[in-house]
Structure formats: structure tokens, C-alpha cells
Amino acid sequence: MKVLVYSAKDFEIENLKKANREKHKMRFVPEALDATTAVMAAGYDGISIFSNDDASLVVLEILKELGVKYITLRSTGYNNVSIKSAKRIGLRVAYAPEYSPHAIAEHAVGLLLALNRKLVQANAQVNQYNFSIDDLIGSDLNGKTVGIFGTGKIGSILVKVFHAFGCKVLAHDLERNHYLENHYDVIYLPLEEMCRKSDIVSINAPLTYETHHIFDAKMLHAMKKDAFLINTARGGIIKTSDLLKVLKKGHLKGYATDVYESERGVFFQDHSKTGIKDEQLKELISMPNVLMTPHQAFATYEALERIAETTIYNLDCWEEGKICKNELGYETFVS
């Protein structure tokens, strides 16, 4: 199968080549998929895309006209793909589920610890030979109440981690996990009530129509004034303009994130020489109580190997006419 790999990054190409074992004819390009770059896929049977590529209806229609039949994502999230439209026009789509929930969960905890204990600020001070700790006071996690929004693979790991820290764990999800309730004393609550009662809230839910901007001004104000908000899911779950207003008013103690609402065209690229034009993003990262990483939570050696293996597995299934367990259809999309 001839496959064009969009948004190919140096750190993942070798893993993909290794997993492929020269079975498929793969070409790697750094360009992201959009309505302009879709024409690059002419002559290819399939494409591979990342979480920030644009696979909306217009793009899918171009790909279909060019003869593309298959799309495999190198990510768990697939909110950037119009799955319903893909199925309607005859494009088959698969994703890379569960490649490393531990990587995401561990990064979320790392963000919280760094923000709470002011590790970035402390390191900067020490590098200037300033060993004062007057402005480096944090809080114990032990005894705090943590709210987990989404208790899937990642959220479940976080429940166990925070329970080990000695935290009381609350949760919100469409489906309750009885194992977590029975073994980790998790209490499921409506989202707003969970936010009101939590000292720390971690977002680990997928971005859907229902979760888009669910953390708006109302939900953010429902949180405790001295609470931490952690987001390693998707930036669009939080309404950035409302978050900025809440942070400016001092309502939240801090915000740590690995994602941003308008990542496309900014994240995964080096803008150190040219700068960025997104004023909201500039304002957000300039705040002393905000800690942001560039969507790197997934980036561990183990996760990258699994993503590559899953990507090739998806292509192999289609090539060999086998059922692909990772294929997405309309039923999966609405479930």
C-alpha cells in the first residue's frame, strides 16, 4: 500500500520505518493535512495523520476524489476527523487507542507537582544563585480532594496515583467505574458539584460536542478560589477567553496544561525566531500561575513505539482484508 504520512516529525519517523519493515511504501512529509495540502495525497492508497491535522468534510472530499481509501491516525483523539462524513463518502478511518495512558497520567501529575511546588521558578532562581525560598511555598497533596473528569484509561490511572498520595478522589463520567468505587473509594458526582468540592481538578475526557467549552465561566467559577486545574486532554474542553478572565481575577490558584484550544499551526513547530500571533496564547503563557507544555504528554519512547506499531497494524489489516479492531465508524463516533 502506498501511504503518505502527514505531520511527520523526526522523533517518530524511525519508529514508523522500523514497525513497517518495508511492507508499505511510505513517504513522510512535515506538512499538516488541510484543504491545501490534501492534493499531496494524489496517487496514494492511504494517509496517516496526527491530532492537529484537518480531516474535516471538505478535506475528506478532496482525498476521496484523489483516490485515497484509508486514513490511520497516530493519536487516540479523533475530534479532528469528521467520522460520520468519512463513512458516508466511503473512507475508512482507524486510530491508535491506549498507546500509553500511563504517559499521559504521569505527565498530568508532573504538571501538578511542578505548578504546586513552583519547580520551574525554583530552578530559574537557583540558576541565578538565588537560594531564597520565600516565594516557593507549596501545599501538601496528602489530604486534598481531587476531582477527575473522565475515568477512562488515563483517569483510572490518576485515581490510583492520587489515592496513593493520600487524596480523597471524586469523579465525573457518563459511566461509573465500580472497581474504582470499591477499591479506591471514588465518589461520582455531577460535574459542577465535583468542581465545587475539589482542591484539584484534572480533565481527562475526550473532546466531543458535549464537552466542548464545558469548562466555561460558570464551571470555572464553581471551582474553589484556591484550586488547581490540570488539562492533559484537549484544549477545546476549556473556553480560553473565560479561563483568562478567571485567572486575572485570581479565582484559581493555578492552571497547568499540555494542550491549547487553538493549537493548529502553532504547536509542534518552532516559533522562537518568528514569534506567535495568538494574543490569547501569549497572555496565557505569560501568567505566573500558568504552566504549559507543548502537547508532549504522549511523547515517551514506549508510547511512540506503540503508536508506530498500531499505525502499521491498521494498514496491514486493510491491505490484507482483515477486520481492523481500531477502525472507527458512525456507531463508535456517537457512543
Provide the residue ranges of all domains of the chain, joining segments of one domain with +: 2-99+301-334, 101-292
At 292, the amino acid letter reads M
Fold of 101-292: Rossmann fold (3.40.50)
Fold of 2-99+301-334: Rossmann fold (3.40.50)
State the catalytic residue, choosing from 12, 106, 261, 263.
Answer: 263
Q: What is the pLDDT of residue 269?
A: 87
Rounded to whole angstroms, the Cα distance separating 170 from 116 reads 20
Give the DSSP H or E segment for 292: strand 290-292
Beta strands in the chain (DSSP E): 2-5, 25-28, 46-49, 70-73, 92-94, 145-149, 168-172, 187-188, 200-203, 228-231, 254-257, 290-292, 327-328
Examine the residue annotation and report whether 213 is marked as an active-site residue of this protein: no
Rounded to whole angstroms, the Cα distance separating 212 from 239 reads 8
Provide the sign of the torsion angle of the four alpha carbons 165, 304, 115, 236, taken in this order: negative
Q: How many CA atoms within 13 Å lie on the side-chain side of 187? A: 12
Global pTM reads 0.89
Phi/psi at 287 (nearest 5 deg)? -75, 135
State the catalytic residue, choosing from 172, 234, 261, 306.
Answer: 234
Q: What is the pLDDT of residue 186?
A: 98
State the catalytic residue, choosing from 24, 74, 295, 306.
Answer: 295
Q: What is the pLDDT of residue 332?
A: 42
Work out the burial of residue 117: count CB atoms within 10 Å of its CB; fewer than 13 is exposed, 13-18 middle, 19 or more buried: middle
Examine the residue annotation and report whether 295 is marked as an active-site residue of this protein: yes
Q: What is the pLDDT of residue 330?
A: 42
User: Packing angle between helix 301-320 and helix 10-20, nearest 10 degrees?
Assistant: 50
Examine the residue annotation and report whether 210 is marked as an active-site residue of this protein: no
- Contact indicator for 268, 6 with CB cutoff of 8 Å: no
Rounded to whole angstroms, the Cα distance separating 293 from 256 reads 8
Q: pLDDT per position in the chain (335 positions), as tens?
A: 999 999 999 999 999 999 999 999 999 999 999 999 999 999 999 999 998 899 999 999 999 999 999 999 999 888 899 999 999 999 999 999 878 899 999 999 999 999 999 999 999 999 999 999 999 999 999 999 999 999 999 999 999 999 999 999 999 999 999 999 999 999 999 999 999 999 999 999 999 999 999 999 999 999 999 999 999 999 999 999 999 999 999 999 999 999 999 998 889 889 999 999 999 999 999 999 999 999 999 999 999 999 999 999 999 999 999 999 999 974 443 33
Within this chain, domains 2-99+301-334 and 101-292 share the same CATH topology: yes
Cell numbers that stand for 34 in this block:
488541510
Place of cell 460558570: 218
